[in-house]
């Protein structure tokens, strides 16, 4: 909730007139006056931010945020001891023409059991993303927990697909029931959409649907 009275109080303490505050923020003087008196209850977040900046206040001050109290009231995270370990097998291309492989170089990842949403370990596999056609949603090096299924839930859903019998890719998959085609659609506009149709569909199959993205941040 906005503490309107803090605007006038802070302004007076710093010797800033309404006119000066208007010049610093670009907000009309009459509008600022209504903010101070509380006549205007809904104030845009951008306006609050500009006023705080002009008055040299910490972000959230006018909303009554007390950082020390905020941190004090934060609960410690729950640490689960129940997890499932998966080998990270091969790579799935966020691009095209990447040969599907199932090699394993010893990389493993632990997934909390609750993320399996009632499914067994054998219902999932973990792949590493290669390429940038699904950037920014998926980035090279990301690990993806994939739920095994041979069909899509709806057109436009992201799935892991093998096409041409040996090329694996991660894409949004578009199709229409009753028609012999599907499109592999990237998120990154720098990559083309690929259409697979007619007899080529016989060499195309869905492997699964991404359910969890694991990304490691490096300094």
Of the residues 171, 195, 211, 218, only one is catalytic, namely 171
Identify whether 171 is a catalytic site residue: yes
Of the residues 9, 133, 155, 176, only one is catalytic, namely 133
- Three-state secondary structure call for residue 20: helix
Q: Quick one: which of 160, 165, 164, 84 has its CA closest to 128?
A: 160
Q: Can you give 115-181 as a three-state secondary structure string?
A: HHCCCCHHHEEEEEEECCCCCCCCCCCCEEEEEECCCCCCCCEEEEEEECCCEEEEEEEEECCCCCE
Residue 191 DSSP code: S
For tokens 């992201």, name the residue: 158
Name residues whose C-beta falls within 8 Å of residue 140's C-beta, 6 or more positions apart in sequence: 94, 129, 130, 131, 132
Alpha-carbon gap, residue 205 to 201, rounded angstroms: 8
- Three-state secondary structure call for residue 95: coil
- Three-state secondary structure call for residue 181: strand
- Three-state secondary structure call for residue 25: helix
Active site residues: 133, 171
């Amino acid at each position: 909730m906005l503490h309107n009275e803090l605007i006038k109080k802070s302004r007076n303490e710093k010797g800033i007139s309404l006119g000066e505050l208007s010049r610093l923020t670009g907000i009309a003087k009459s509008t600022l006056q209504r903010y101070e008196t509380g006549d205007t209850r809904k104030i845009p977040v951008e306006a609050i931010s500009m006023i705080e900046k002009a008055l040299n206040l910490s972000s959230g001050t006018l909303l009554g945020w007390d950082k020390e109290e905020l941190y004090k009231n934060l609960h410690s995270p729950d640490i689960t001891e129940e997890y499932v370990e998966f080998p990270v097998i091969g790579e799935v291309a966020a691009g095209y023409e990447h040969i599907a492989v199932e090699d394993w170089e010893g990389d493993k990842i632990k997934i909390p059991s609750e993320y399996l949403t009632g499914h067994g370990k054998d219902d999932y596999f973990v792949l590493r993303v290669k390429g940038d056609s699904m950037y920014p949603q998926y980035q090279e090096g990301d690990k993806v927990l994939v739920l095994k299924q041979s069909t899509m839930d709806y057109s436009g859903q992201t799935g892991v697909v093998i096409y041409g019998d040996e090329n694996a890719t991660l894409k949004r998959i578009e199709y229409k029931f009753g028609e012999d085609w599907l499109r592999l659609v990237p998120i990154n506009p720098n990559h083309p959409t690929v259409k697979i149709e007619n007899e080529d569909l016989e060499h195309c199959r869905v492997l699964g649907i991404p359910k969890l993205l694991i990304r490691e941040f490096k300094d």
